[in-house]
Structure formats: C-alpha cells, structure tokens
Amino acid sequence: MRRHRNVKIVATLGPASSTYEMIRALFEAGADVFRLNMSHGVHDDIAKRHAIIRQVEKDLGRPIGILADLQGPKLRVGVFANEAEELVEGATFRMDLSTAPGDAKRVNLPHPEIFAALETGTSLLVNDGKIRLRVNACGKDFADCTVEVGGTISNRKGVNVPDVVLPVAALSEKDRGDLEFVCDLGVDWLALSFVQRPEDVIEARSLAKGRAAILSKIEKPAAVKAYDAILQVSDGIMVARGDLGVELPVTSVPPIQKRLVRGARTAAKPVIVATQMLESMIESPVPTRAEVSDVATAIYEGADAIMLSAESAAGKYPVEAVTTMNDVAMSVEKDPTYRSVIEASRVVRRESVADGIVAAAREIAEATNIKAICCFSQTGTTASLVARERPHVSIIALTPLMSTARRLALTWGAHCVITPPQDRFKGAVLAAVSAARADGFATEEDQIVVTAGVPFNVKGTTNILRVAPCDERLISRVDPE
C-alpha cells in the first residue's frame, strides 16, 4: 500500500474510533499516524488502542506511527457556591488562594505559581479566552482584577496567562506517569504540552531515554518567542493553533503558523499543523469551504502533516474526515502552483556532506527522468534531509529498523520500507531497485537515485549517490561494493 500524496495525515483516536474495524478503515482512508490523547482515556484504553494499531500494521504490512500527546498542567479556577456567576464588564473580581466557594466577587485559583509570576497589567483569560481580566494589584496569594470582557464563569474553568512565562513545569505528575507508561508501551512520538522554554523539552527527553522522539507543541506566546531554541532540542513540532488563538490575537496566528512551519522545514524536522482543521465534520459529513481552504493552506506551506482531533476521535464521520483530508491533499499536490510555491519556499542549507548529497539527489531527479530517490537511513536523518528538499519525485526510505520506519511515518513524502541490514553498496542498490519496483514507484525501464552512507549502519555517514537502472541485469558488475 502506498500513498499518492506527500503530506501525512494524523488521526486522533477516541470513543468514535476505538475498534479494529474503525482504526483499519481510518488507515485505509489515509491516516499515516494515530494520536493517543492522554487527556482522555485511562491506561487500559490507551493500551488497547495501541495494540489494535500494531495489529493493523501487521495485517497490512505497512509501518504506522503512534503519537502519544501528553496533557500538560491544567490551570483552573475552583468552584462557585452557585456553580456559575456572570461577570460584567468594568466590574472588579478577585482570584485568591482561599478555598471558600466563589461568588460574583471572587474565586479560588489554586495555583500559587501564577500569583508569583503576575504583574500589574497582566491579562488573565478564563474559559478559552471568552472572559478577559486585567490585573490591577497582586500579591503572593491574590490578584485583584478588572473585567475587560465579561461572561459566565463556572466551576473549574481553565485559566490562561499569556503575558508571562509561568514557573510551571511542562510535565505534571500525571504526565510523568503517562510518559513512562506510553514509552514502555512502545509509542514512536511524544507530544509535549505547555512548552515554554527549551529546558522543558530537555527534561522530557531525559525521561524518555531514547524510547520515543520528542515533538514540542507550540501553543503559548513564550514558546513562540523561544521557538528557535525549542526547535533545536526537539525532534519535531506541532503548531497548536487552538491554544495559540486563545493566548494571542487570532489575527497573529496565520503568520506565526507560516514562520513555525518554515523554521521546522529548514531544520529538517517534521511539523504538524493541528487544531480545528475540519471542525464542522464532527457533526457534518462534509466540511465547509473555509475548512478545505485552511487544510490546503497548510499543505501549500509545506507542512509535513495535518491533524484531525475531535473529528476522528469523537465525531460522527471519522472516516469521511480522513478521506476529505486525503482528497484535499491529492488535489493540492497535483496543482502546478503547489510545486512553484514549495520550490520558492525551499531554504538552501549546505553545511555537511549529507546536505550536499541530498541536494544533488533532488537536482538530478528534477533534471532527468528519475522516478524516485531511495535513501538508506539507520536513524531517519538522511530521509529527513531528503524530505527537506521537497523533491518532486517519490522518497523511498529504506531502513532495517521498524522503530525508524514508524517515526518516519510523520515525515513528508517518506514511503518507508523495512530492508535487511546492508554491508555493501551494491547490495543496497539492488535492495532499492527491488523496493521501487515492488511498491509501484518504477518499472524495469526506469531509473532511481540511491543515497547511502559507507560504512553502513553508522549514523551521519551519508556520502554516496548513485543513479541506478531498475533493470537489475543492467546494474554494472563494476558497481562499487
């Protein structure tokens, strides 16, 4: 089974998509990676879904990526005596550490770390930004505010503090337990919520101990400001537009999305555009035109992956949502404008031999009738570098490691093939030719480009490029061993 598009699709699993039949249907419709949302579902549910994905993978013979999304710390107000109150614009309202039930004048905010970071003039957002408060005075256990945007405030609504970096760890105790559980389970990617600084990512990496790649969710203004440093220590990026749109003006999110995608592409690290992409398909079998345009925009920007959340986890039409994404992607990638946009946004980076090899592979493929670029990759780095070039031909990533193939399921254009370990270059060329023909990328009359590193099975040694005929009889006996 091969995809006829380059952008990957991430589908979140949930109550609407927890059976073998549904998960298999989602994969066959186009999902390349499945997201397990640790904010919902107990460990037993997560383990069952993980096992089903691996069974589908085995039955269909294709590597499938699994992304576990950690919840992150949740900042919430306490409870109200009347369960809810109406806050009126211009009124005063206090948040404090008192555990007494709230009223129209005050409520408990059981987070002393927030009070420690507040300053006069800081904004506090409640209930996904529907209510906006401005701090007039604050101390170690209180904040007196003016209501700038009123509304109904009720029990345990979430609080956002967009103006300051909070002294709150990205990993709560729940997250630490979840991280250990999913790493032992065998997920391929960990999505880290509430990232504010590179140290948050470094901590998660130390706990993961190489068992999963770390993907940083950019959802806070502090993360946008520290993006370059966060990107450097991350294996991938998720543009979490929903939370960004709460803590930042919604008009600033599109240019931020473009900058984040461009940065990740330049670093050859996969980037997912997420949140509310086909939101109406939770209830409707067809999307709005605006949603289709939104998905298309992310594809034109060169994102590695686009993601479904509630649409596939809890919606009425999960398969239709994946099918719609797949159809939009295929339509966009056939558009001649798509190639011109992708090529115009390509960033030239020539810092290593590997950079030069993959750039040459793309240029040869574009100048001649090459059908695919086949790259041997132990860790996935070479395949990621080839993907950064966004070539107009297919990318076949050959690796002896299933773990690498699964992680590459998130990388733009990478069609992963498990191949026996190679120790001679001629054997690698023959394996590449066999894979290209077996999976329908080329025929005996075609040619492919092969990249590899000698010595084999050593990280960071990409140093050979070969144009090879797909007719094995024509492969010269004098090919380098």
Is residue 225 flagged as an active site residue?
Answer: no
Q: From CA 236, how far away is CA 159, in angstroms rounded?
A: 27
Active-site annotation holder among 54, 74, 76, 426: 76
Active-site annotation holder among 24, 35, 49, 390: 35
Is residue 275 flagged as an active site residue?
Answer: yes
Active-site annotation holder among 275, 324, 399, 451: 275
Is residue 76 flagged as an active site residue?
Answer: yes
Give the residue numbers marked as catalytic: 35, 76, 217, 275
